[in-house]
Structure 1
């Protein structure tokens, strides 16, 4: 039947938004609104950068680089152990768990016997 969709692409949307802003805000309030928007965007960028820096600081010496999906528990253990500088050759899963735990400074889980 009838197709009432707008076939507007690209820069046409920018013009429509600008005209709508001028009509809604008027020419006197538009500069103030753009200044406030610029301040909000600057604060957002500043906060985003601060959060990224904090994440990098928290990450610290641990350089975990996973290039693709890790499919098995063994691959997860090996990836984590390699990132901590542990040699994974000839070690069982339990050995790797204990080595990773000791490198990270953790303690035994409550349901495990610490004497093992």
Structure 2
């Protein structure tokens, strides 16, 4: 049997797509189509930047940089506390929970079932 698969890679696809656009749209409508495509791309970038800015505003002052997975509840608490600027030395898990909650603005006591895994 004959194999009609196209083994075209890279820039060849771009040239085929441009030739197909010229054939489909014609030379008169191609500039209008590219202008519309440019407007769509500009609106996409504007919306993407707006969403990114809103996420940064919502994130606020909390800088939670976690470099990898944490293995225990204590490590989770210490990671949160350090990112919020709380000293973790000599404090129990409950003390750290209360300090983290007070910094974040949550309730003073967390449900034990939701914090342990």
Normalising by structure 2, we get a TM-score of 0.83
Aligned counterparts of 1:54 and 1:12: Cα–Cα separation in 2: 40
Count how many residue pairs are aligned between Structure 1 and Structure 2: 112
CA separation of 1:18 and 1:89: change in aligned 2, threshold 3 A: same
Task: Tell me what 2:54 maps to.
Answer: 54
- Divergent runs of 4+, >3 A: 1-4, 108-112
Q: Which runs of 5+ in 2 are unaligned?
A: 113-117
Residues 5-30 of structure 1 show CA distances to partners (whole Å, capped at 9, x for unaligned) of: 32111100000100111111111111
Task: Tell me what 2:8 maps to.
Answer: 8
Task: Tell me what 2:115 maps to.
Answer: none
SS at match of 1:57: helix
1:108, distance to aligned residue in structure 2 (A)? 4.5
The residue correspondences of 1:66-105 to structure 2 (distance < 5 A) are 66-105=66-105
1:2, distance to aligned residue in structure 2 (A)? 5.2
Normalising by structure 1, we get a TM-score of 0.83
Q: Which runs of 5+ in 1 are unaligned?
A: none
Aligned counterparts of 2:95 and 2:52: Cα–Cα separation in 1: 34
Alignment partner of 1:45 is 2:45: yes
Residues 14-63 of structure 1 show CA distances to partners (whole Å, capped at 9, x for unaligned) of: 00100111111111111111100000100111111111111112212111
Task: Tell me what 1:17 maps to.
Answer: 17
